[in-house]
Amino acid sequence: MKTAEEILRTLTLEEKASLCQGDTFWTTKAIPEKDVPEIMMTDGPHGLRKQTGETDHLGVNKSVPATCFPSAAAMACSWDRELIQRVGEALGEECLREGVSILLGPGANIKRSPLCGRNFEYFSEDPYLSSQMAKHHILGVQSKGVGTSLKHFAVNNQETCRMSVNEIVDERTLREIYLASFEAAVKEARPWTIMSAYNRVNGEFCSENHHLIHEILRGEWGYEGVVVSDWGAANDQAKGIREGFDLRMPYSGEAMKERIIQAVKDGRLPEEKLDETVRRLLSLILEGAKNRREDAACDMEAHHLLARQAAEESAVLLKNDQHVLPAGKREKIAIVGAFAKYVRYQGGGSSHVVATKHRSVLQVLDEDYPDVKYSYTRGYRLKRDRIDEEYKAEAVVTAAQADRVVVFAGLPDGLESEGFDRRDMRLPDNQNDLIETLIKLNKPMTVVLFAGSPVEMDWADRVPSILCMYTGGQAVAEAAVRLLLGDANPCGKLAETYPLLGEHAPCALTYPQHEEAVYSEGVFVGYRYYEKKRLPVRYAFGHGLSYTTFAYANLKLDRGEMTDQDTLTVSFDVTNTGTLPGREIAQLYVRDVESGVPRPVKELRNFVKVSLRPGETRHIEMKLGKRAFAYYHVGLGDWYAEDGEYEILVGAASDDIRLRASVTMRGSVQPQKKYNEYVTMGELARLPGARPFLSAMNTSATPAPAMTEAEKEAYLEDEDDMREVAMDLTAMSVYMPLIKVADMTAGAFPYELVEQIVKAINE
């Protein structure tokens, strides 16, 4: 087989341009006479959506059957790197079986708002957790010789006007939150392709964005793979190619090829830049074609069992008062709610998978648990949010005759899908009304939720137990029943916060916006916001219960001081103190005790999931480098860890910290700020170079004679004098610019002295 470089030397300008867009809806351009094959890509972050008939990008038309694994919102709640990598391997095997070379996913966009209609496809509100899940998903798929497409790059956080909205986000927020979600996955897993988003970021469309693609992705991160557009997201492709963009999808007509050719002829697109794009495309196509196997096969039953395991480990037991769960298998159970029969196991849109098999909750009970006595009643309508008194009355009668009640509730497809955002965070009124009615029976009661994102639960304090299954894939009904009956032990934890109300979300006042979406909340997204505001939430980030209990002890740091060149080793023990085997997710957060910039109360920096038998203890070690302590310093254009004290916090959830220890950062690189005449008096009080001048201002209206170096050193050691200066400055106003002091003293404080002070502090 010829190499990409050998083929490139034989291509005409027209052939090069033709490779820069798809040949069909799902395939790349083939040039057989030049030894260029085609390869196929398909949707499917959590399951293959290969279409053999009519094609579309919204999941409307049929696709071949494939395993529907839990969506990203569910999988992230497993906090299990190894499990999601195994799911990725299974996805890769199914791609090989169907001749697919690139699977379009995973989605690593941050959950800025719980109302984003596509949140079920995204991992988390936290960039570290999101990037770890994405990284291991990619490693799994690509271990099978199938490429991935990490998406949607970048700042694609609403469905409303998603093809045109301009996301306005400051550089620090961009780096710490929205790009950090992609960064580790790009650098450490090297996805074959990255999908550019529809939207604009700070004025430029993502497919042509100089800062995102040229400066950061290609430049700082060193990404050498292919940048492909979301379907229809390319605009000025010649400009995009200049910035490092590669492939327009799908085929959009010969006019697009002609535009590239004309741009080269006009000099707007240097042919060497086009060659860079074509070289990357040829490398991708050849790699994909090389890995195709006609005899590829996979064990679909094993994949279904893996989907069940993933659903079980992603389920989150939100509440379990008085150990209501697990249910006794000899009890008579009232199964209430249409979702028990019509289980919602995935989201709508381009990720919609035709499952290889799927059973309802009722079928699972009938087939796998024939001795369990239950009665079923529908309870509410699914397609119309109208309270049906007859349905409700039947539910009350059924529940009254049972030992316990299990209500299956959630968001119907029509409320949560790609293409639109949710209007509010509420469940349908008919479901809320049903739950409120059944609470009055005072029975042991569980609500099982099927939803791709948080919902309001006004009744949560009055329901003994709540089990959240998210959109858990084709085996979610099996997983739910096993969890309810105690054949599996819940071990998932929330990858996002459940606020009390949708109005409490960080961007609730403005979300979604149409022409410009201004990210005024900055880095305070998800738990970072709720903790900083001290705002109570329904369930905190990282929360999740088990049928057993865990204790934490013996937190140790291998050093008390460090620099930003060092690695800190954190160790602690976790013990299963209950009577059942279980899995615990230990979370490590870092808190900057006193920062010079606004920072979150704490931030997730590592986690581990461990399996423990009753009474078993596991010793855990985690390592933290500079990035665990740093924020993005715009002036430096780099990550910066301030000198000072940092707390290491270890616990079972963001609101359940069990262990604390401190480490001091010393000798980190200091940012060199350039000051001008508008430096404030408060800033001057903190700068050693300005203190002699401030002393002179306090003792005389005329400048003091210049101090010798010895006098300055002696002066700086006098802390009492500096406290007096600070008190005087408080009276004067710490926010007054230096130049204004000169303006208002009629020459007593000359402008020449302003210049001297600015020069001194900059030196």
Q: What is the pLDDT of residues 683-708, one digit of tens each?
A: 887 777 777 777 766 654 444 445 45
What tens digit of pLDDT does each residue of 18-50 get? 999 999 999 999 999 999 999 999 998 999 999
Asked whether the predicted pLDDT for residue 227 surpasses 70, the reply is: yes
Q: What secondary structure does DSSP assign to 145-191, as a single string?
A: T-EEEEEEETT---STTTTT-EEE--HHHIIIIIIHHHHHHHHHH--
Would you state the pLDDT for residue 704?
A: 43
Is 429 catalytic? The answer is no
Report domain extents, the chain. 13-43+203-290, 304-539, 550-665, 681-762
pLDDT at 672: 76
Among candidates 78, 81, 84, 91, which has minimal Cα distance to 44?
91
379 near 312, Cβ under 8 Å?
A: no
| Helical pair 751-762 and 691-699, crossing angle rounded to 10 deg | 150
Contacting residues for 311 by C-beta, under 8 A, at least 6 apart = 70, 74, 469, 472, 473, 475, 476, 478, 479, 480
Q: Is the predicted pLDDT of residue 718 greater than 90, yes or no?
A: no
CA distances 762 to 51, 190, 531, 675, Å, are 64, 42, 37, 6
**Token digits for 655?**
């609101």
What's the confidence (pLDDT) of residue 725? 46
**Average pLDDT over all residues of the chain:** 93
CATH number of 550-665: 2.60.40.10
The top-scoring range by mean pLDDT among 44-48, 588-592, 744-748 is 588-592
Question: Minimal CA–CA distance to 522: which of 176, 166, 206, 179?
Answer: 176
Mean pLDDT of 516-523: 98
- Categorize the per-residue pLDDT at 722 as very low, low, confident or very high, splitting at 50, 70 and 90: very low
Tell me the two tokens of residue 194.
Answer: 């990255």
Find the DSSP H helices in 180-270: 180-189, 237-243, 254-266
* pLDDT beyond 70 at 720: no
Q: How far apart are CA 143 and CA 330, in angstroms?
A: 46
* Mean pLDDT score, 572-599: 97
Residue 533 pLDDT > 50: yes
CATH architecture of 304-539: 3-Layer(aba) Sandwich (3.40)
Over its C-alpha atoms, the chain yields an Rg (Å, rounded) of 30
pLDDT tens-place string over residues 300-347: 999 999 999 999 999 999 999 999 999 999 999 999 999 999 999 999
Cα-to-chain-centroid distance, residue 717: 49
The enclosing H or E element of 621 equals strand 617-624
How do 638-640 and 631-633 pair as beta strands?
antiparallel
**Residue with the two structure tokens 């994949």:** 303
For β-strands 568-576 and 617-624, DSSP reports them as antiparallel
Q: Is the peptide bond before 499 cis (omega within 30 degrees of 0)?
A: no
Confidence of residue 742 (pLDDT cuts 50, 70, 90): confident
* Mean pLDDT for the stretch of residues 640-656: 97
521: left (phi over 0), alpha (psi -120 to 50) or beta: alpha
pTM of the model: 0.92
Q: Which two tokens stand for residue 635?
A: 């002036």
pLDDT of residue 710: 57
Q: Determine the 3-state secondary structure of 205 from DSSP.
A: strand
Catalytic pick among 43, 80, 126, 230: 230
> Looking at residue 747, what is its pLDDT?
77
Does pLDDT of 101 surpass 90? yes
353: confidence class by pLDDT, cuts 50, 70, 90: very high
| Peptide bond between residue 444 and the one before it cis (omega within 30 degrees of 0) | no
DSSP codes of every residue in 357-420: ----HHHHHHHH-TTSEEEEE--S-SSS----HHHHHHHHHHHHTSSEEEEEEE--GGGSBTTB
- What pLDDT, on a 0 to 100 scale, did the predictor assign at position 170? 98
Is residue 103 pLDDT above 50, yes or no? yes
Q: Which of 128, 84, 152 is nearest to 351 (CA)?
A: 152
**pLDDT at 174 > cutoff 60:** yes
Indicate the CATH number of 13-43+203-290 among 3.40.50.300, 3.30.530.20, 3.30.360.10, 3.20.20.300. 3.20.20.300
Band (pLDDT 50/70/90 cuts) for residue 204 is very high
Q: Residue 724's closest CA among 691, 687, 690?
A: 691
Segment 653-670, tens digit of pLDDT: 999 999 999 999 997 677
